[in-house]
Every structure is written in C-alpha cells, then in structure tokens.
Chains A and B, each alone.
Chain A
Amino acid sequence: MGMGTYIAKRVVHSIGIIFVILFLNFIIINSAPGNPALFMGGEVALSSPEYVKALMHRWGLDKPLYERTLIYFEHLLKGDLGYSYRYMEPVSSLILERLPVTLLLTLSSSLLAFVIGVWLGLASARRVKSKTDAAITTTMFVFWSTPSFWLGIMLMILFGVRLRLFPVSGMVSVSHLGGGIWYYLDILYHAVLPVTTLTLIMTPLYYKLTRDTAIQQLREDYVTTFRAVGLGEGYLFRKYVFRNSILPPITAFGLQLGYAVAGAVLVENVFGWPGMGRLLLDSILMRDYPVIMGIYVFVSVTVILSILLVDILYALLDPRIKYG
C-alpha cells in the first residue's frame, strides 16, 4: 500500500470515529432527564410554551428519531453547536472567543514539556542506573502522580501569595488593558504560573517514553559497533540515539492533547484564566447544557484531528513505517 492510500484510509477512519462521537453526544443529550427542548433552551423555555414549540421545531424534536438524528448532524456540519441562553450567543462563537487563550496555555506547555521531557529522558538514559537517573526518575514519578489543579494551587501559594513573585489570578492587570507591547508582556507574566504547572504535569510522559526508547536503543547492535570503533558517547547520543528515540514522543504529542486540554480546564480554574475551561465550569454551574456539549464536541473533534495530523506527519518523517 502506498502512502496516499494510507493517508486516505486514516482520514476516512478518523471521520468515522468523529461520527461515532457525535452520535454518542446525541444519545447523551436525548437521554438526559426532562424534555430536550427545555434542556437546550434552559430557563427561558420554562416560562414560554411558544419558545419551547419554536425550539422543538428548530431542532426537529417534533419529528421521529431517525429524522432528528439527520437534522442534528445537519446543524453540526454547518458548525451550529447550539445557542447559549446564558450568554445569548451561539456556542460556536463563545468557544472561538475563548480558544486563543486556552491554546496559549496548552500549546506552550505541551511544547515545553516535550523539549524538557525528551532532554531529561536522554540525559537519564545516558547515565542509566546512576544516582542522577534514579533522582530524575523519582521526581518524574512524583509529578506524574500529582493532580494539575493541586500543583497549581501550591505554586500559587508559594510564588504568588508568599513570595509575591507572580500574579495570583487573571490574565492581564487592569493597568495594562490599554494594549501595546506591555499588554502582551503582562499576559505572558500572568501565564508563567499556569504554564509552569501544566509543563511540570506533562513532562513525565515524554521523559518516560524517551528514556525507555533510548535504553532499548542502547542495546542495538549499531551502538555496540559505534562504541567499538571509538565514537564518543556525546556524538553517538546526539547523532543516533536522539534521532531514534524522538519518534515515540512525537506520536504521544497528538495523543496527549486531550490530556493537555483537560489539564488546562483544571488549571484555568485555579488561576482564573478566562479560557475554555473557565467557560466550561461556569456553564456546568449554570446548567448551560448547550455550552457543555459544544465544548465536549469541539474538544473531541480537535483531539481526533490532531492525532490524524501527527499520524500523517509520522508517515512522512519515518521511512521505515509500514502502511497497514
């Protein structure tokens, strides 16, 4: 099978999975307690039978189930995730509004975690079974076992409340709302603690993958040969072990995105960061179901698309991959 066929197959596969998830979403909405129109329309619907009727019609709730499924998908394909009665805005625009600030957290911490994790993993593998290796491994175990929100609270108490080095909450100070370079620098300053929290939580994943792969690489014949001909350890690691150990962490990068967004949701709530996580929590508290479901659909689809993207990149990067 050629690469084109492989990619086409993966795309079709991902679309299939997205449909299953959307269908599951439909089932969850429809099996929730109470009339789905009241459910989608919220409190406004309680006092207005006409509104309920209009909603029932708009969402096709007066039609049989199979037709409703089709209508639901039709709305979704148009990008219509529903309407939030709390914000009086379409869910999709609410999400897109908050997306950049959440991405700032997730992407920057994912990248940092990737770089630090791979670097530490290689450093550990080079000194395998030494005291340094044991110390790094144990530290990574601790961070792997730490809930992001609690670590965030602890960093906030230590660096925000006690040492007063960083702001405790929010994304930008009132005094810097004016815009310009100080506005962006202030956002970065506020992002230090949340990004540090997320980075610490995600580093162990990359560390463990890199260390395990690198240790396996060290048992390969080529390493023995290179050592026998007197190639320096540093050169051997930089040039060969590194290149062979970086592929598993790259695959993991796509897969962990869901984990990263989940972490961001929790950490945003610790630091009052006005992103999607904050929106999600507010919607849960206000029972704003369209927003909750919309965020769920959005996150699922994004995660699946990024896994697909990483798979395709991987196929392009690694000449050994078998398309199967």
Chain B
Amino acid sequence: MSSRLESLKLRFKLVARSLLAIFRDPYGAAGSAIFLFMVAIALLAPYLPIPDPGSIDFPKFLPPSHSHPFGTDYLGRDVLSRVIWGARVSLSVGLIAAGISAAIGILLGAIAGFFGGLTDNVVNSLIEIFLMMPTFFLVLVIVAIFGSNLFYIMIVIGLTTWPVTARIMRAQTMSVKEMLFVEAARALGADSKRLLFLHVMPISIYPAIANTILSIGNAIMIEAALSYLGLGDPNLPSWGRIIYEGQPYVTSAWWIALFPGVFLVLTVLSINFIGDAFMRLYSPGLREA
C-alpha cells in the first residue's frame, strides 16, 4: 500500500514540475496568464458589476465610453457584458468538445497502437477517412440540418476532431510498447490491460495532451465560425455570435465586432502558446525547434 502512495506522490511531483516548466517558458507563461484571466472572467461573470447581457435598457450604438467601455449594440445591450458572458460559452465549447475529442482519440489511438492487428487496421482506416474529410464542412452540414443548439455543436465538434489525437497517440503507443520496461512488466505477469493503462499510457500520453490543448483553441474557432454564419445557438452570446450580430453595422459601429474578436484571438492565442510550450517540453524531437 505504501508503495502505491509513494508512486502517487511521485506522479504528483512530476505533474507539479511539468506545470512549473510551462510557467517558466516565456510563451507558456504568457499563454497561462491570458488563459487564466479568461477563465476568471468566465467564472466570475455573474458577480461582476456589469449590466445583464440581455438587457436592452441603454441607447443603441453608443460608442465606447466610461460607462460602456466597449459601447452598446443595435439593441442597446452592453457589449462588454456580452463579451464577458461570451467567454463562458466559448470556453465551455472549447473545453467540452476538446474533452470528448481527447477521450475518443486517446483511447482509440492507445488501443490500436497497443494491440495492433485487425483492431489497428480498423481504427487506422477510420483515422484516415476522418483526417481527409473537411471537418468544418461536416460540422456545418450537420448543424445546418439538425439544428443549432450548443449541446449539439459541442458533441459534433468533439466527434469529428478526434483523429489527429488518435494518430499521435497510436504512434506513441507503438513506440513505447517496444521499450524494455514494458517487457519487464510483462515478464512479471502484468496482463495487457494493466500494461497498457499503467505502464504504456502514462509514458506515451504527453504529445496527445499537447494536441488536446491545441484542439481546445480549434473547437473555439469552429464554434465562432458557425456562429458567424448564423448557425450558433441563438440563445447564448458567444463571441462568434456577437461578431455576427455586429457585422451589418461595421461601417458605423465598429466596436461591436472589434472587441469580441480581440477576446477570441487572445484566448485562442493563449491556448496555442500553452500547447506549443507543452509540445516543446514533452516531445523530445522538437525540443530545439
């Protein structure tokens, strides 16, 4: 029992050390700071001293001023408040869609790489088919036909973006399973399930995690693009939707489209910074790149 505790402690230390390493990387530190800020405003939105995002009490098209730092939109809603509430929508789409995509990709990739044979053939063909399909169009068509609510959008993005993670995880698993320590564990009598989940996966998972971080940003971009085309959830103020609503007025009220876009770029940029730092730290081949 105590050895298990020891190994848990060791693992905890490793995680803490890897987080510290990311904070020490200049891109990683900048990315983490911006991302934490976005998460903070998303979580604190109900408690911040801002007007209700749906309230139409203000004059229309007010340019940015002291009382409305981001101005008001075509219905007289406060753009700052909508952008802050939009962080909740965009971040939850990103996190949940990337979570679904990671769960499928990591599991399928690990199983295919570890067991090989027919399983691998089937999974690999699936990966190839999905990789060649223009994902954005598939999501667009499904949402256009089956309706656009946020729940659908998250699931459809998750179900169509897993192949990249799966491909990375498969390759990693294939190389790690040939290592000596796996052979040793097998000789000690570990069964396949134990070998895969306790010995191979903890070593091979890092590049897949890096890719999952990047796919959070990707999912946020896909949702924003859908919303910009008018296919987002009409009931929730996502950043893409605010830009969509501001588009007809860009010649006179530029602030409606500008600010949500700035938040969108900063968020995706911060995620890409973190993902890139993670990739450089844990994918040895690219360390100097």
User: Residues on A close to B: CB < 8 A?
Assistant: 17, 20-21, 28, 32-33, 141-142, 144-150, 153-154, 156-157, 161, 168, 211-212, 215-216, 219, 258-259, 261-262, 265-266, 269-270, 280-281, 284-285, 289, 292-293, 295-296, 299-300, 303-304, 307
Whether the pair A21, B257 counts as a contact (CB closer than 8 A) is: no
Contact check: which of A153, A212, A299 meets B247 at CB < 8 Å? Answer: A153
Contact B225 A147 (CB under 8 A): yes
Instruction: Verify A215–B289 contact, CB threshold 8 A.
Output: yes
The chain B residue sitting closest to A13, CB to CB, is B128
Separation in Å of the A106 CB from the closest CB of chain B? 12
Q: A28-B145, A145-B217, A147-B228 are in contact. Are A261 and B243 (CB under 8 A)?
A: no
If A145-B217, A147-B224 touch, whether A28 touches B141 (CB-CB below 8 Å) is yes
Please indicate the chain A residues that have their CB under 8 angstroms from the CB of B230 in the complex: 281, 284-285
A-B contacts, 6 of them at CB < 8 A, read: A20-B129, A145-B271, A148-B225, A161-B251, A259-B134, A299-B137
Known: A32-B146, A142-B265, A142-B269. A258 touches B137 (CB 8 A): yes
Chain B residue contacts of A280, Cβ below 8 A: 140
Q: How far is the CA of A280 from the CA of B261 in the complex (A)?
A: 24
User: Contact size class for B?
Assistant: 35 or more
B 184-242 contacts with A by CB, 8 A: 217, 221, 224-225, 228-231, 240
Cα of A310 to Cα of B225 in the assembled complex, Å? 28
- 13 additional A-B residue pairs with CB within 8 Å, beyond A147-B228, A148-B225, A157-B257: A17-B129, A145-B217, A145-B265, A145-B269, A145-B271, A146-B268, A147-B225, A211-B289, A258-B134, A258-B137, A261-B137, A284-B144, A284-B230
Q: Which of B129, B141, B251, B269 contacts A292 (CB 8 A)?
A: B141
Q: B250 at interface (Cβ–Cβ under 8 A)?
A: yes
Which single member of B217, B254, B264 contacts A157 (CB below 8 Å)? B254
User: In the complex, what residues of B have CB within 8 A of residue A161's CB?
Assistant: 250-251, 254
Knowing A154-B261, A269-B229, A300-B133, say if A292 contacts B250 (CB, 8 Å).
no
Expressed in whole angstroms, the Cα–Cα distance for A144 and B289 within the complex equals: 18
Mark B residues whose CB is within 8 Å of A. 27, 128-129, 132-138, 140-142, 144-146, 217, 221, 224-225, 228-231, 240, 243, 247, 250-251, 254, 257-258, 261, 264-265, 268-269, 271-273, 276, 286, 288-289
Enumerate the 3 nearest inter-chain pairs by beta-carbon distance, A residue then B residue, closest first: A258-B134, A150-B261, A145-B269
How far, in angstroms, from A212 to B288 measured CA to CA in the complex?
Answer: 9
Assess the B132–A17 pair: CB atoms within 8 A.
yes
A84–B261 alpha-carbon span in the complex (Å):
35
CB of A281 within 8 A of CB of B138, answer: no
Residues from chain A with a CB closer than 8 A to the CB of B273 are: 141
Q: Which residues of A contact B258 (CB under 8 A)?
A: 154, 157
Q: Which of A28, A150, A216, A265 has the most CB of B within 10 A?
A: A150
Is the pair B251, A168 in contact by a Cβ cutoff of 8 Å?
yes
Determine the chain B residues whose CB is within 8 A of the CB of A219 once the complex forms. Answer: 288
Q: Which listed residue (B136, B257, B265) contacts A258, Cβ 8 A? A: B136
Separation of A270 and B258 alpha carbons in the complex (Å):
14
Q: Return the contact of B145 from the options A216, A281, A292, A303 (Cβ within 8 A).
A: A292
The residue of chain A having its C-beta at the shortest distance from the C-beta of B246 within the complex is A153
Are the C-beta atoms of B289 and A300 separated by less than 8 Å? no
Q: Which of B128, B257, B269 contacts A150 (CB 8 A)?
A: B257
Choose from B146, B225, B272, B289 the contact partner of A145 (Cβ within 8 Å).
B272
Q: Is the CB of A21 within 8 A of B289?
A: no
Q: Is A33 touching B146 in the complex (CB atoms < 8 A)?
A: yes
Contact of B272 among A17, A141, A168, A289 (CB under 8 A): A141
Cα separation A211 to B142 with both chains bound (whole Å)? 37
From residue A133, how far is it (CB to closest CB) to chain B in Å?
Answer: 11
The reply to whether A153 and B261 form a contact with Cβ atoms under 8 Å apart is yes
Which of A147, A258, A281 has a CB less than 8 Å from the CB of B264?
A147
B136/A262 in contact, CB under 8 A: yes
